[in-house]
């Protein structure tokens, strides 16, 4: 391998001083151009790449959220029908006593020719618990009837299109020659959609 050896003298430098100065000037100008133009563009490129990556992550996250919202909308649509059906089963009223009176009229055998003897002697509202727009009302009904009237009453509760549930029932048999021979105390729970009080 051949090696190069340069012998540069002060005389050579003086003779080529303008060429050396021009080369140094070109190198300085290129350095300044790089620092003033190319380096900021490279920095800006890095910032833009970071922003693009961030935007891609956001788009991915929004896509995932949109997928979740579609599932939520489908679930809401499924439950909306059930909610409407449930809403049809609620009594509408402003007062639990109004509910108890309506329920008494609904379950009584008055005015029904083929119905057995069933007398609702008294009713009483026991408790009322609010659940947002709905209210759960517990009521006690005292009845005088016979076994057929009790069956009629319980069938009416069971087949009612309203949300009614028997919570407790006490039956006492009394000795009678004619008429009702059962005293029945029944506690019913019903749901009431609250209306505005006037």
**Domain boundaries, given as residue ranges, for the chain:** 8-88, 91-194
C-alpha span between 121 and 130 (Å, rounded)? 28
Radius of gyration of the chain (CA): 46
Q: Output the pTM of the full model.
A: 0.56
| Residue-level pLDDT, tens digit, the chain, 198 residues | 566 666 777 787 788 788 888 888 989 988 888 778 777 888 888 899 999 999 999 999 998 888 888 888 888 888 887 777 777 777 777 788 888 888 887 777 666 667 778 888 888 999 988 877 788 889 999 988 888 888 888 888 888 888 888 999 999 988 877 777 888 999 999 888 876 554
Tell me, what DSSP letter sits at residue 37? I
Q: Domain 91-194 classified CATH 3.30.70.60? A: yes
Are 50 and 152 in contact by the 8 Å Cβ rule? The answer is no
Q: Sign of the CA dihedral 178, 184, 189, 195?
A: positive
């Amino acid at each position: 391998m051949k090696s190069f050896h340069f012998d540069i003298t002060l005389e050579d430098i003086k003779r080529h001083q303008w060429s050396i100065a021009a080369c140094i000037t070109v190198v300085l100008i290129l350095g300044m151009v790089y620092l003033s133009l190319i380096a900021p563009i490279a920095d800006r490129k890095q910032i833009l790449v970071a922003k693009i990556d961030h935007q891609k992550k956001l788009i991915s996250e929004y896509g995932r959220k949109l997928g979740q919202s579609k599932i939520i909308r489908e679930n809401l649509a499924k439950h909306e029908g059930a909610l409407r059906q449930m809403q049809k089963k609620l009594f509408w009223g402003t007062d639990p006593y109004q509910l108890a009176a309506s329920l008494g009229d609904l379950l009584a055998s008055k005015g029904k020719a083929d119905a057995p003897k069933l007398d609702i002697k008294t009713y009483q509202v026991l408790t009322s618990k609010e659940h947002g727009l709905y209210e759960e009302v517990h009521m006690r009904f005292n009845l005088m009837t016979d076994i057929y009237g009790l069956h009629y009453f319980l069938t009416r509760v069971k087949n009612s299109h309203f949300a009614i549930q028997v919570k407790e029932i006490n039956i006492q048999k009394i000795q009678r020659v004619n008429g009702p021979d059962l005293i029945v105390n029944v506690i019913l729970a019903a749901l009431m959609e609250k209306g505005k009080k006037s």
